Structures are given as C-alpha cells and as structure tokens.
Amino acid sequence: MNYTTQEIKVRYYETDQMGIVHHSNYLKFFEFARIEWLEKLNIPYHEIEKNKIILPVVKCELKFLKPLVFGDTFKVKVHCTKKPTSSIEFSYEIFNNSGEKTTEGKTLLAFLNSDSMKPIRCPEIISKLF
C-alpha cells in the first residue's frame, strides 16, 4: 500500500548551520507520513492508542541522496513493505518539488501493549488491510 503525503515545506528551524535539513528531522517527516497514511485508511493513531497499543520505532535506516534546504517543498512516499506480524515495516522516499528523490529510508515499529510494554500481534484493524 503506497501513500504520498501532501506537499511539505522545509521550515527554517529544521535546518542546521549549513542551511540543510538536519538529519534528525527526517524521522519526523517519516512519522508524519505514517500518521497521515493511517488516517487515510480510517485508522487514526489516537484510536490505536485508545486500545492500549503503542508503536515504538525499534529500527531505522536513512540514506541521503540530495539535501533539502530551507524553503524547499517535498513529498514523502510511504509504503508498508510486508504484512505486519508483531511489528510493521515501512519504507520511505522523499521527493523534492522537481521530482528528484532526495532521501530513502525504512522504519520498523513493534506493536506493544501500553500497560505491560510486552509485544503483541498486529491488531485486526490493521492486519485486515493486507
């Protein structure tokens, strides 16, 4: 399932002294894309948490191909790479306004019970999408 976010504009506070988006912000961009993807599938994140389920990131990868700078606009393409089990894996591609790929990445999130902090199976509300 692919989803591409709305256009996002790089804000000044997301850049470093060199005027380039600081590497830490890319995980925020990925999170934005995941949350928006879930909302488009009618699974708002607050509904997941209401059911005592949390999704911490347990692994991430980033590959920078071209920098984003203050004022650039971009979109994030997110894709769930395989059917979720006790975790869910996403891949991401960021494209600038010229359509050039600037970044690739992956995140692995675990499904945990928020009370026990123990791993659980993927909830049916998500697994039924696959």
CA angle 94, 66, 61 (to 5 degrees): 60
Catalytic residue among 1, 7, 16, 65: 16
Q: Using CA atoms, how far apart are residues 112 and 85, in angstroms rounded to an integer?
A: 12
Distances (CA, A) of 69 to 1, 11, 25, 61, 96: 29, 9, 12, 21, 10
Determine contact, residues 97/70, Cβ cutoff 8 Å.
Answer: no
Q: Catalytic residue at 72?
A: no
**Spatial contact of 95 and 119, defined as CB atoms under 8 Å apart:** no
Catalytic site residues? Answer: 16
